[in-house]
Structure 1
Amino acid sequence: MRIRYNQGLFTQNRYNQTNTDLNKTLNKLSSGYKINQAADDAAGLSISEKMRAQIRGLEQAAENIQDGLSLINTAEGGIGQIQNPNLVRIRELIIKSTNDTNTQEDREKIQLEIDALKRGIDDIAEGTEFNTIKVLTPEELKPGGPNEKKFDIVFLIDDSGTMATDIQMVTQGLSTFVEKMRTIGDVQIASTSVVHTGRDLMSTNDIDAVKHHLKNKHVATGGVTSTEKHLSDIVDNPSKLGLRTDSEKIYVILSDTNSEEFGTDLDNTSLANKLNGTQVYVFGVRNSEQFFNNEYGEYATEIFVPKSASDISENLTPNLAHVIAENSDLSHKLQKDLIIQGGANEFQQTIIPLYDNRSNAIGINSITVTESYEMTMEALRRVDIANNILTERRAIYGALYNRLEHSYNNVKNAEEQLINAESLIRDADMAKEITKLNKDQILLQSSQSMMAQINQMSQGILEILG
């Protein structure tokens, strides 16, 4: 029997190893994971953590999609309320008004209800929100006031013999234009004829006076236009129209012909240099956009060619306020098109467009049934166009809703499969670990018994020596 060799060392090492394995098994059983630290499985831990990040991302993407579905429902429901009963009732009233069994007084009463319905449409559009996001009125002007920026808007009117209807359309859209401009600053209006003398309107903030002047002074009669000469004279001498010295001057040209060239005295380039970036807008009628670009393009800020006469009153004139605000850096979009992040990674998104659904934006703001049969038919046409616009928008939202539903189902399926894959890597096999626990416990008890036997053997040696 050798006394220099510790017969219990091997048994003790096996005991320590079994005890360590037993502790690891207990950790796995108590946590449910077979990877509790990087040392357990470094590669598996890396893969598992990446999968966990994807799973959490997919869970949030699913919530994002559900929020997007709720927003689409809100927007589509609001448009539905605008369309029916409001727009349907307006169309019904227009058809009613065409019947000659109605007196003029009857038609005026009908117009009152139509106007109330238009205001109702605006109320719905402006009041429909999701989480404070205005989903039916995404575009707006910055609030302003008389102490902010001053604007003098000068209308240069071609009141030659062919322009009577176009001047009337500008007059009809003027109230909305001025109302919008007043939300961004202090606005005054002046006008001058580019054909006749003695038709100037001094700059004023009295919109009724402006409309009266356009209707009664700018009467379309014969004559030759001299647009550039009048524009140049006003730029040189703004006081002739009472323009304020501290205001931003903006010029709006209404014409159906070319801008008069005046030879060697002043060409388009010279006029552009004199204007030096001043905003000049052209409403060009009865000619092509290319025609007006050739004539006014060198100095005009923007050129608008209306699709019809009513387009001037319903779209171009009212919406000019937005264009001026943009070019004066005074406008902003309250809400851009919405991005729904529908995946766990970058650019996995769906764009939800937002539309302005107010009466002016869908082209029915200035419809009337009190003027003439032709104007009433034009109102009916405008309502039908608006109805088609709203129907198309609802169809777009419906398609987007279906798309997001499919995306939601796909995200949940991907989440389920990733959870399953991650579980195979990270989760403990409970049956296997319990079996291992029993084995380790038996080995540990066996090691303890052997260590006790070895200790007894060592005691026997001491007894022999004693």
Structure 2
Amino acid sequence: MRINNNMSAVITNNKLLGTEGSLSDVMEKLSSGFNINHASDNPSGIAIAGKMQAQIDGLDQASTNGSDGISVLQTAEGALNEVTDMIQRMRELSIQAANGTNSDEEREAIQKEIESLLSEIDRVSQTTEFNKINLLDGSLDCRTYANNVTRIATSNGVPAGIYQLRVDKAAERAVSSTSLTGEYEFDEVFDNTYTEVKTTTHVKTGTFSGGFNFKEFIDTTRWVTTEEDYSDPEKIVTKTTEGDGLGISGSLSINGYPVTFTQGSSGETVYGMLRQACEKGGAVITDFDDPEGIKISSYKYGADAELKIEFSSVEFARALGFYNDGGDEVLDKDEAGTVLPRIADAGEDAVIVLYQNNKDDAGNDVESLFGAQATYKTDGRRVIVSDTKGFEMSFLLDDGFQKDALDPAGNPYDGLVTFNVTDIGSMALQVGANEGQSMKVRIASVSTEFMYIDDVDVTRAEGPEDAMDALEEALSYVTSVRSQLGAYENRLEHTTKSLDATEENMTSAISRIEDADMATTMVEYTKLNVLEQAGVSALAQANELPQLALQLLQ
């Protein structure tokens, strides 16, 4: 027996200390709920759990991001619902204006409401926001840069890159102009013979210098009208009147809108009446002092832009300066060559050449991604290029831009239009826990300009019919934008559900790694508690062993 070193006590104490350490660890797990409280508990496990926790936190935020994205789309879609209602209302007003029972004043009243609705659509487009981000003005659409075109719109099927085309012929309006230029003198006698009264009008213009001035042309006209009444064969009554201004009375219609002129009207009056007839007839008139003579053009461009001017007589057309002397033809002729009291003309659509598969039309190498199956259609200056897989690009060509036309400096244009389509501008929603896991959302502009309804006017001739066509197309445009928003919204709903499910599964996985199993840990705690109690008892017994040595000394 040894008394200096009580090995039994030492051994028992060491075991007891180990039990206390294990019991401390178990109690920490029970109190924290974690199976891993220190890196030493499970070095590989804590590394895995740390990465998984970062993913779980990211997935939770990504799900919130997706919900915010849904809110953005719902905000935009709610505004577009009102835009749809406004377009529907304008179309209803256009149908109302097309009815022949409406006077010009009633159509003007209808036009005021249409203009108010157009302004409201533009206001909605400019002011619909989410968190100070404008949604409907086109700022969330992909940017496309190009020369000599406006109103560029590209579908989701247009890849980013460079696209080129050449404008060989610009769109043109239907046009007619007076044939009077420079110094001109007009002298003609018009006879209108009736049963009992013969009327003779002698019309002669004065001579004016400088550039042509329509008002001066009318004001310098001198006319003399003689009426000879033969109703009483024994007494012929002769009456003569004379004056300055429009040579003879007459009427004309511009695209169906009629206006009547009185003999002797001043140049100011005649020009004002022509201008008003053009406005109502869907035409545009140049300034009265245009040195090339006044020009009347259709308001629209393209083959569908017709201009039809009908005069009450050839003589009246000549009195207004519209002539056909075998030179610059203004008035129409029939098959026999007889001059008719009318002008009929149509505009022309633009003609372009697409550079496809990185080749121009001559086979030279260029940078252009238009595909081999790409085609285009034109409506005046408006061009729509389409191809497979949802490719569509639309734009509006600048007026007069074409190959060999002269720029302001007098240099010829090459007619080339280069589009740089980018991925810049769309809203990127972060819908994943890692870099690059984003979803791009594009929202096209819904301004009246991009929907081509900014010039709707039911007061013009054929205006209600044109308005119905334009508003029908605008309605289709808005419906397409809303459909795209709905597709985005449905996608985001599925995305958020997927994120939530992934987060749930990853939380379950990390729980298996770092969470303590309370039942197993409690069993361990009970075992260690018993061992500790046993160790304390054994240590007490071991400490009493040296006392036995005293019995040997008695």
| TM-score of the superposed pair, with normalisation by structure 1 | 0.62
Q: Distance in 2 between matches of 1:17 and 1:359?
A: 82
Matched, 1:288 2:351: yes
Structure 2 contact 443–481 (Cα < 8 Å) conserved: no
Residue 107 (structure 1) aligns with: 107
Aligned residue for 1:87? 87
1:363 is paired with a residue whose SS is coil
Higher-Rg structure is 2
Whole-Å separation in 2 of the counterparts to 1:139 and 1:213: 37
Q: Is the 8 A contact 1:83 1:387 kept in 2?
A: yes
Q: Greater share of helix residues, 1 or 2?
A: 1
Map of 1:48 onto structure 2: 49
Residue 421 of structure 1, aligned match among 491, 509, 516 = 509
Preserved contact between residue 172 and residue 349 of structure 2 (Cα < 8 Å):
no
Distance 1:163 1:52, change over 3 A: closer
**Structure 1: stretches of 5+ with no match in the other structure:** 141-161, 169-196, 200-210, 222-283, 295-304, 321-332
- Tell me the CA shift for residue 306 of structure 1: 9.0
- For 1:292-319, what per-residue CA distance to the aligned partner results, in whole angstroms no more than 9, with x for missing partners? 999xxxxxxxxxx99323749x95569x
State the 1:121 CA deviation. 0.9
Structural mapping, 1:54-133, within 5 Å: 54-84=55-85, 86-133=86-133
Residue 412 of structure 1 aligns to which amino acid in structure 2?
D
Q: 1:108 to 1:363 in 2, by over 3 A?
A: same
Counterparts of 1:159-170 in structure 2 under 5 Å? 163-165=172-174
Displacement of 1:460: 3.6
> Judging changes above 3 Å, is the alpha-carbon distance between structure 1 residues 291 and 442 closer, same or farther for their aligned structure 2 residues?
closer
Q: Secondary structure at the match of 1:415?
A: helix
Letter of the 1:399 partner, please give it. Answer: A
Q: Contact between 1:125 and 1:136, CA under 8 Å: does it hold in 2?
A: yes
CA distance in 1, matches of 2:45, 2:350: 72
Name the structure with the higher strand share: 2
Paired AA for residue 126 in structure 1: Q
Cα separation, 2, equivalents of 1:406 and 1:356: 26
Q: How many residues align?
A: 320
Instruction: Establish whether residue 359 from structure 1 lines up as the match of residue 448 from structure 2.
Output: yes
Q: Which amino acid in structure 1 is aligned with residue 496 of structure 2?
A: Y
Could you tell me how far 1:108 is from its partner in structure 2?
A: 0.9
2:350, 2:381 within 8 Å by CA — same for their partners in 1? no
Confirm or deny: 8 A CA contact 1:108 1:370 kept in the other structure: yes
Separation (CA, whole Å) in 2 of partners of 1:166 and 1:14: 111
1:398 is matched with which residue: 486, 498, 507? 486
Say if 2:56 and 2:503, in contact at 8 Å, map to a contact too: yes
Q: 1:285 to 1:464 in 2, by over 3 A?
A: farther
- Structure 2 counterpart of 1:111, which letter? Q
Q: Match for 2:67: what amino acid? A: Q
Alignment check: 8 A CA contact 1:91 1:380 kept: yes
- C-alpha distance in 1 between matches for 2:69 and 2:500: 16
Deviations 1:194-234 (A, max 9, x none): xxx979xxxxxxxxxxx98568737559xxxxxxxxxxxxx
Q: What SS does the aligned partner of 1:289 have?
A: strand
Letter in 1 for 2:378: K
Superposed counterparts of 1:264-343, under 5 Å: 286-290=349-353, 307-309=378-380, 311=382, 315-316=396-397, 336-343=425-432
Partner of 1:251: none
Tell me, yes or no, if structure 1 residue 433 matches structure 2 residue 521. yes
Post-superposition Cα deviations, 1:425-454, rounded to whole Å, max 9, x if no partner, equal 110010111111111111111111111112
From the superposition, tell whether residues 216 and 408 of structure 1 become closer, same or farther in structure 2 (CA, over 3 Å). farther
Change beyond 3 A, Cα 1:462–1:359: farther
CA 1:77–1:412 in 2, change beyond 3 Å: closer, same or farther? same
* SS of aligned partner of 1:351: strand
The residue matched to 1:307 in structure 2 has which SS?
strand
Letter in 1 for 2:72: L
**347-356 vs 361-370, which deviates more?**
347-356
After superposition, what is the alpha-carbon deviation per residue over 1:177-207, rounded to whole angstroms, capped at 9, x for unaligned?
xxxxxxxxxxxxxxxxxxxx979xxxxxxxx
Whether contact under 8 Å (2:23, 2:528) holds in the other structure is yes
Which amino acid in structure 2 is aligned with residue 370 of structure 1?
T
Give, in angstroms, the shift of residue 415 of structure 1.
0.9
Q: 1:409 to 1:69 in 2, by over 3 A?
A: same
Change beyond 3 A, Cα 1:106–1:69:
same
Q: Does structure 1 retain, via aligned residues, the 8 Å contact 2:350–2:378?
A: no
SS of equivalent to 2:46? helix
Distance in structure 1 (CA, Å) of the matches to 2:349 and 2:476: 26
Question: Considering only aligned residues, what root-mean-square deviation do their CA atoms show, in Å?
Answer: 3.6
Which secondary structure state, in structure 1, belongs to the residue aligned with residue 440 of structure 2? strand
1 CA distance for matches of 2:427 and 2:24?
53
Spell out, residue by residue over 1:362-420, the C-alpha distance to the aligned partner (whole angstroms, 9 max, x if none).
Answer: 111111111111x3322221111110010111111111111111111111111111111
Q: Secondary structure at the match of 1:2?
A: coil
Query: Per-residue deviation at 1:96?
Result: 0.9
1:402 maps to a residue whose letter is N
Sort the Cα spacing of 1:213 and 1:119 in 2 relative to 1 into closer, same or farther, 3 A. Answer: same
| Separation in structure 2 between the aligned mates of residue 361 and residue 462 of structure 1, nearest angstrom | 111
The Cα of 1:25 is off from its aligned counterpart by: 0.4
In 2, distance between residues paired with 1:118 and 1:369? Answer: 13
Alignment CA distance shift 1:289-1:316 (3 Å): closer
Q: Which amino acid aligns with 1:427?
A: D
Q: Residues 163 and 220 of structure 1 are in contact (CA less than 8 Å); yes or no, is this contact kept in structure 2?
A: no
Structure 2: how far apart are the matches of 1:364 and 1:216? 32
1:194-213 counterparts in 2 under 5 A?
none
Q: 1:459 to 1:414 in 2, by over 3 A?
A: same
Once the two structures are superposed, the pairs formed by residues 144-163 of structure 1 within 5 Å of their partners are 163=172
State the distance in 2 between where 1:291 and 1:36 align.
Answer: 68
Where 1:48 maps in the other structure, the secondary structure is: helix
Q: Tell me, in whole angstroms, the C-alpha distance in 1 between the residues paired with 2:114 and 2:18.
A: 90
Separation of aligned partners in 2, 1:167 and 1:115: 30
CA shift at 1:78, angstroms?
A: 0.8
User: 1:203 aligns to what?
Assistant: none
For the residues of structure 2 that align with 1:289 and 1:465, how far apart are their CA atoms?
126
Looking at structure 1, the residues matched to 22 and 95 of structure 2 have their Cα atoms a distance apart, in angstroms, of 89
Query: Does the 8 Å CA contact 1:315/1:361 hold for their aligned counterparts?
Result: no
In structure 2, the CA distance between the partners of 1:343 and 1:355, relative to structure 1 (3 Å rule), is: same
TM-score by length of 2: 0.52
1:288 CA displacement: 2.0
